[in-house]
A = this chain, B = another copy of it.
Amino acid sequence: MADQLVKNLFGDPVDTANKRHSARKENLEVILRHGERIFAEFGFKGATMQAIADAATLPKANLHYYFPTKMALYHEVIERIFTIWLEAADSFDTSASPREALSRYIRKKMEISRAHPHGSKVWANEVIHGAPIIQDYLQTTLKDWTNTRIDVINRWITEGKIDPVDPRHLLYMIWATTQHYADFQHQVVTLNGGTPLDDAQWQRATENVTHIILKGIGI
């Protein structure tokens, strides 16, 4: 078939060559996307497989074909969110200057809050409810990442590049503030007269957050 002759730049057959394979991929994608939204909106218990199925316009039994249990689907949703979190984490360039490293990190986190508010909400939900699923991440990946950044920030302090603040609380402040625009989106929108922040407002928010935090630590 002609379809099967389609190749990408590396000469590998493109996934869409196989109807089954591509349909599978598409379905997984749709389920995960709507699952994330429904979980964010109603919490784990409040979200129903039926609601996710309806959103994805698939019969409920079909969801159970791809994900044996609700928990399995939830796990997968969390997994994806963590990937995004890692992406932001990478943008904290430890070799850059404090000003550059922090402002880039803050900007990246603000972008994520705008692009993936649902994911952020699911994560927040998890933590609020005692992190039954992500406890592992918190104790390993997140803790390690945090400790290396704390070291870097402490070095900046020693070198007199920033004020002697507790790095831990600086990081918490960055997390809390940037994620606020995703997690408390509804409140932010309500206080904005009911309309979502536009491009200019997001930029203004990012600038304000960056300004206050950087100046706040003496940069």
Chain A residues proximal to chain B, CB less than 8 Å = 40-46, 121, 124-125, 127-131, 135, 138-139, 142-143, 146, 163, 165-166, 168-170, 172-173, 175-177, 179-181, 183-184, 186-188, 190-191, 204-205, 208-209, 211-218
Q: Which of B129, B168, B184 interacts with A127 by CB under 8 Å? A: B184
CB distance from A219 to the nearest CB of B (A): 10
Decide if B217 touches A187 in the complex (CB within 8 Å).
no
- Minimum Cβ distance to chain B for residue A150 (Å): 10
A177 in contact with B173 given A216-B211, A218-B215 (CB within 8 Å): yes
Do residues A169 and B216 form an inter-chain contact, with CB atoms below 8 A? Answer: no
**A124 and B184 alpha carbons, distance in the complex (Å):** 8
The SS class assigned to the A binding surface is helix
When distances are taken between beta carbons in the complex, the residues of chain B under 8 Å from A216 are 211-216
Q: A173-B209, A204-B169 are in contact. Are A190 and B131 (CB under 8 A)?
A: yes
CB of A128 within 8 A of CB of B139, answer no
Task: Report B-chain residues with C-beta under 8 Å of the C-beta of A217.
Answer: 212, 215
B177–A129 CB distance below 8 A:
no
Chosen A-B contacts, 26 in total, with CB atoms closer than 8 Å, are: A42-B45, A42-B129, A43-B43, A45-B45, A45-B46, A46-B129, A121-B128, A127-B186, A128-B183, A131-B186, A138-B186, A138-B191, A165-B212, A169-B205, A172-B177, A172-B181, A173-B173, A173-B180, A176-B179, A176-B184, A212-B213, A213-B216, A215-B216, A215-B217, A215-B218, A216-B216
